A = this chain, B = another copy of it.
Amino acid sequence: MRIAEIVERFGGVCEGDELTEIKRIVGTDLAGPGDMTFAFEEKSLGRAEASGASCVIVPPELRRSPTTLLRCGSVQQYVAELMRFFHPQPSPTPGIHPSAVIGEGTRIDESASIGPQVSVGANCRIGATAVLMASVVVEDDCEIGADTIIHPHVCLYPRTHIGARVIIHAGAVIGADGFGYFQEDGGLHKWPHVGNVVIEDDVEIGANTCIDRGKFGATLIKKGTKIDNLVQIAHNCSVGPATIIAAQAGMGGSSVLEAGVICAGQAGIRDHKTVGRGVRIGAQSGILDDVPPGTEMFGYPAKPIHQAMQEIAFLGYLTKHRTPLRKLIKTVETPQPAADVGRVPPAAPNVGRVPPAIGK
């Protein structure tokens, strides 16, 4: 495809030879002749030029180049569109695979695609162009919105509600019982969990992630929230809208991540805590208390990142200076008779390494 055709279809302005043929779009590390690549700033433009790529997509403000440029408003959006264009997703055939098992009272839009070995329970509703890939299990009374894609081996427990344009990756489990027991007569008794999980539009959920059903009400994943792989969301949590949770993070029961929170990988949030709008939680951090909006948190237990970093650095400093510190502490602690000052030399009225001259 020639750059001219790309410009015609996707917009932007070509600076250079618009008749150049483009075979694919890739990052600068993989780019070479025949490739289109992209650069957000000076440094990556340099790399792009060095790569021998035939064309570089750049934002309005970036400098000109001997390499042919394609200048556009939003490089990210432009590249994402081109990627989708060069690598179109196969659209699954509408209809129900003969090996699928569908329960009574379930209504499946005829544009939806139900793959092999799928099992759908009773009284479910599956929207237009929704896709259930191989071996998905949907239990009774679930709703799945239009354009939603559910990858293989996902399990939806009864009464799960999934909005439109949701993506759920393979192996995710939505709606398992919350983890709640009470002790009585020396044994652990299970709290029944009769709530459900509600996932709003435009959410993406990663592979093997688990979202438990509410005890009474719903566990709620709000519009536009993105959750990575192997994440644990306990019963009655509320997440989003537009919140990001990276891989292996976990939320305790009834905790809340408000709008626009960014939670890095392997972080944990204690049950019944609320993390305010726009908070950023660092990797592996442990949130043990409510967090006010807009804060950046780090550490275990988590603190405002500035404070956490200062403490980490200062412990390093103290440890590096552990010899004088030990001396200082010993000096203060040990009552010493005038005649026997222990390790402090008699002539040295000072502590530690301070030369005697000072002591006069």
Contact = CB atoms under 8 A, between A and B. Distances in A.
Interface string A171-182: 101001101011
A333 interface: yes
A268 interface: yes
Contacts of A355: 335-336, 338, 345
A252 interface: yes
A192 interface: yes
B80 A101 contact: no
A268 B152 CA distance: 27
A29 interface: yes
Interface in A223-266: 224, 226, 228-230, 232, 234, 242, 244, 246-248, 250, 252, 265-266
Interface stretch (A60-68, A124-132, A306-314): A306-314
A153 B307 CA distance: 45
A43 interface: no
A148 interface: no
Contacts of A32: none
A266 B244 contact: no
Nearest to A335: B355
Interface in A58-98: 74, 76-77, 80, 83-84, 86-87, 90, 97
A173 B169 contact: yes
Interface in A157-193: 157, 167, 169-171, 173, 176-177, 179, 181-182, 184, 187-192
Nearest to A171: B173
A321 to B, nearest CB: 5
A1 interface: no
Contacts of A215: 27
Nearest to A311: B319
